[in-house]
A and B are shown apart, each in its own frame.
Chain A
Amino acid sequence: METEYSIRNKYIKNLGDDVHRREQLNVLHVLETPPSAYKSKVTGKRMLWYIDPTKCTGCKQCVAACSLTKTMRYEHEESRIYVKRAESLGWSIPLVCEQCVSAPCADVCPVYAISRDVETGIVEIDLGKCIGCRLCRYVCPWGKETIRIREVEGFHGLKAVKCDLCGGDPACAKVCIAGALQWVEFTGDSELKRTTSKGRARDIAAMNVEGCI
């Protein structure tokens, strides 16, 4: 039987392994885990990501928008959203923190810095506790690029930073004209969401086999 503890051990055991194994594990995890909805404190509306990777054109508008929102500069490395592209295959997929229901990043955090805000549903990192160990980065089902390790003003040392949904109004969704990233109201049709998640997981797995590296 898998307990929280055994899952955590499994992740840790796999750390440091090559990229492929890690991502295989992630894919399995994704298939089991439905993402959760965000509940606005102001309007009370429940919102969630509707991500259709087949519509993604790979333009990186979301990346630029995120970096501008977070740093007031266009520094793509600071972006909390990542567009994985395989140019020779014409593939691209937007990857962003999905605030997973059973969040592996929270599971593996050795200092219990990652927790869910019960009111809004956002998975938050307590920067005061974070020690910048990168474990969360390695176990994230959506790839390590969705969590950045940075020096943050007001804190000492390296910290993990990730998507905070811009407080309930993500900038990246505003600039996705192609409709790959949509921030939609949750209407109970979670099956739709799960299907796309599975599809995306398969896409990522396929890209790792055939893709650039």
Chain B
Amino acid sequence: MYGWHGRILHVDLSKGRIWNEKFEEDFAVKFLGARGINAKLLFDLVPRPGIDPFGPENCLIFGVGPLTGTNCPTSGRSTVTFVSPATGMYGKANAGGHFGGELKQAGYDNLVFHGISEKPTFLWIYNDTVELRDASHLWGRTVEETDTALKKELEERDLRVASIGPAGENKVRFAAVMNSCHHAYGRGGAGAVMGSKNLKAIAVRGTLGVRVSNPEKLWNAELQAMRNLSKDSGAQGLHEYGTSVSVEAVNELHAFPSYNFTKSHTENVAPLTGQRLVEGGYLKRRVACYACTIGCHRFSEVLDGAYKGVQSGGPEYETFCALGAGCGVFKTDLAILASRFCNDLGMDTISAGSVIQWAMESFEKGVLTKSDTDGVDLKFGNEDAVLQLLKDIAYRRTRLGDLLAEGVSRASRKIGKDSWKWAVANSKGLEQSRVETRSAKGYSLAFAVNPRGPDHLMTETFAEFGTTPEAVNLIERLTGNRKMATPFTTEYRAEIVRWHEDIYAASDSLGVCAFSTTASYALNEWNMSEMLSAASGIEVDSAQLMLAGRRIVNLERLFNTREGADRRLDDLPYRLMNEPITSGPSKGFMNSKTELDGMLDRYYTLHDWDVATGMPKRSTVNKLGLEAEAKAVEQWVRLP
């Protein structure tokens, strides 16, 4: 088998049993890899709905794609899939770093953890030699300490480690699994699942390599893709200034949410931009994930204050927005420090920022009082409180920290008093990423139907802004009308979202980064399928690739359907549905039920799903070759 290894490594933590499972080419082509095969494995291994995400039935599945390990640019992304403790439904998180590439070199496509270990443990993979070892001495340590300690202990400089920090150990519902120190499998609480399994870390070293079918063809396609990528202005901007390159521009559009989405524009946003990181000398190094020729990851240093000299990966756009502007703190140093705290403690910066903003607003509205916060004046802009809260949440130390560690949905339910109205999370229960959806209708539809909760990294319809000629061309291809490249209309959003869903599922499954497919368009379905064909030796054309993407989207939808999700959960946070934008060119814009319903109707129709319930029709999934899965779902829920 070429491209894939065809091997899944299973680890039963309860029994300490380790075994290999093989898969065949037709299975691989059907589900592609990483995200696709992970989804299939989770669907099969978690056979009934409503399991406890922290229980032994939940599985934690890592996966790498068929292109990972090769020269294909930006192909270092790996996926982890699980039942999310934040939503109780399908959970998936995707990260770069070097862990995925190393796992592929070690000869595995997927890595599945079952059960719960009795005592803290870590998994040590050296090609075919796989063993579980005691991790009592690592328990309680931060991510970076764990990484360094494992490299020393195992005497391997080139070891790649994925581990959890104290947040994961304490089952904070938005804890992340961190790999290569600073790359997070952030969303949905993968770290909490790993912590519940008493699994501290996975250390991988691989020397087996990846076989490809047609090296010459693959090499030429890869060089071409690299040339495309290096010419692309979007990719150049990402390399130069990181993901926060666009903060200034987004702020000018009044779409940079601050103060928990009550403001969309900030006067002095300069300290929170990628440009400031570079010009202010905060940036120490531009770092790339495995095989990435963009290199958007930052490595920065705090230049001033008590923590002077502290260095960390990041901060990214979302960190600046969630832990900077969102909390009303406009200091570069603090953003870097908050990013460092989240990296080290192992938390998702989006959700962490989100709960802190919610607590700050609750405090200002008098819902939380000083007796709740242990006397801390938790007003917007209190930078010390942000740092203190991050620690409190990760260690569940104070009463407030313990409350916030449950995420905004659960916390607002516990506190009551209308506080759910400013909890920016939708019915699925995940905190929304800090992206303005009120003035971008494609985004709002994509966020609503996202299987893991409102989030931009499952389907980011960036093209609808029409910022580059390529984006406008894409919109024209999808809708037949160049004028549709505007985010303010609801027309044709369903078409745009559905295409993006397919390409995201396909690229995630191949291991390719979304920045090269939908933020810069250097890689598209044609050259991805060309590379897949060359790597695997199986002819896969672009239509087949996109169809596989759709199959994966349907499978994820089926998983959630079995968990009892339907159209009612495809909604948006209350604040974004009922409170308009207060300033700027899109003043007065908001999402309304009519608008969203209209888009959802069209979206379900396009997918050939049942419009009334939002469930996939039996005939639809059968057409996609998911008969067995449909049957499994029908034991619990009748499909229309």
- Whether A212 lies near B71 (C-beta < 8 A) is no
Which of B98, B206, B219 makes the CB contact (< 8 A) with A60?
Answer: B98
CB pair B151–A57 under 8 Å, yes or no, is no
Asked if B286 is at the interface (CB within 8 A of a chain A CB), the reply is: yes
**Contact in complex: A91, B215 (CB < 8 Å):** no
Q: Are A77 and B207 in contact (CB under 8 A)?
A: yes
Q: Which of A58, A78, A92, A175 contacts B293 (CB 8 A)?
A: A175
| B-side contacts of A58, CB under 8 Å | 98, 287-288
- Interface residues in A152-209 by Cβ distance below 8 A to B read 174-175, 177-178
Cα–Cα distance between A92 and B181 once the two chains are bound (Å): 14
Nearest CB of chain B from residue A66's CB, rounded to whole Å: 10
Q: Does A73 lie within 8 Å of B290, measured CB to CB?
A: no
Interface residues as binary, B594-613 with A (CB distance below 8 Å gives 1, 0 otherwise): 00000000000000000000
Least CB distance from B181 to A in Å reads 5
A97 → B minimal CB distance (Å): 19
Provide the residues of chain B in CB contact with A74, threshold 8 Å. 69-71, 105, 209-212
Q: Within 8 Å CB of B212, what residues of A?
A: 68, 73-74
**Once the chains bind, are A64 and B285 in contact (CB under 8 Å)?**
no
Q: Is the CB of A175 within 8 A of B311?
A: no
Q: Is A115 an interface residue when CB atoms closer than 8 A count as contact? A: no
A57/B291 in contact, CB under 8 A = no
Within the complex, the shortest CB–CB distance from A26 to chain B, in Å, comes to 16
What's the least CB distance linking A139 to chain B, in Å?
19
CA distance A60 to B212 in the complex (A): 18
Q: How far is the CB of B454 from chain A (nearest CB, A)?
A: 31
Segment of B42-50, B223-231, B258-266, B626-634 engaged in the interface with chain A:
B223-231
Q: How far is the CA of A138 from the CA of B135 in the complex (A)?
A: 34
Q: Given A59-B289, A212-B151, is A175 in contact with B209 using a C-beta cutoff of 8 Å?
A: no
Q: Complex formed: what's the CA distance from A91 to B287 in Å? A: 8
Q: Determine how close the nearest CB of chain A comes to the CB of B95; give it in whole angstroms.
A: 14
A90 interface hit (Cβ, 8 Å):
yes
Q: Mark A46-73, 1 if CB is under 8 A from B, else 0.
A: 0000000011011111001101100111
Contact of B295 among A57, A65, A71, A89 (CB under 8 A): A57
B284 within 8 A of A: yes
Q: Is the CB of A61 within 8 A of B210?
A: no
> Which B60-75 residues have C-beta < 8 A from chain A?
69-71, 73
How many residues of B are in contact with the other chain, CB < 8 A? 49
Which residues of A are found within 8 Å of B219, using beta-carbon distances? 68
- Whether a CB of chain B sits under 8 angstroms from the CB of A6 is no
Q: Say whether B332 faces chain A, with CB atoms less than 8 Å apart.
A: no
Q: Is A213 positioned at the interface, with any CB of B under 8 Å from its CB?
A: yes
Across the interface, do A213 and B211 meet the contact criterion of CB distance under 8 Å? no
In the complex, chain B residues whose CB is within 8 Å of the CB of A64? 69-71, 291
- Could you give, for residues 286-316 of chain B, a 1 whenever the CB lies within 8 Å of some chain A CB and a 0 otherwise? 1111111101010100000000000101000
Which residues of chain B are near A57, meaning CB under 8 Å?
A: 286-288, 292, 295, 297
A58 and B290 CA atoms in complex are apart in Å by 8
Complex: A92 Cα to B210 Cα, angstroms:
23
Cβ of B370 within 8 Å of any chain A Cβ, yes or no, is no
Is the C-beta of B101 less than 8 angstroms from some C-beta in chain A? yes
Evaluate contact between B157 and A212: CB separation under 8 angstroms. yes
In the complex, A151 has a CB within 8 A of chain B: no
Q: A90-B284, A90-B285 are in contact. List 16 more A-B contacts (CB 8 A).
A: A57-B288, A59-B289, A60-B98, A61-B291, A64-B291, A68-B71, A71-B209, A74-B70, A76-B206, A87-B98, A87-B181, A88-B147, A88-B148, A90-B313, A175-B223, A175-B226
Q: List 17 A-B contacts (CB under 8 A).
A: A55-B286, A58-B288, A60-B101, A61-B71, A67-B209, A68-B70, A68-B212, A74-B210, A74-B212, A75-B207, A77-B207, A85-B158, A87-B147, A90-B182, A91-B285, A178-B239, A213-B152
Residues of chain A touching chain B, judged by Cβ–Cβ distance below 8 Å, are 54-55, 57-61, 64-65, 67-68, 71-78, 84-85, 87-92, 174-175, 177-178, 212-213
When A and B form their complex, which 7 residue pairs have the shortest distance between CB atoms, in order from nearest? A75-B209, A90-B299, A57-B288, A59-B288, A57-B295, A177-B293, A77-B207
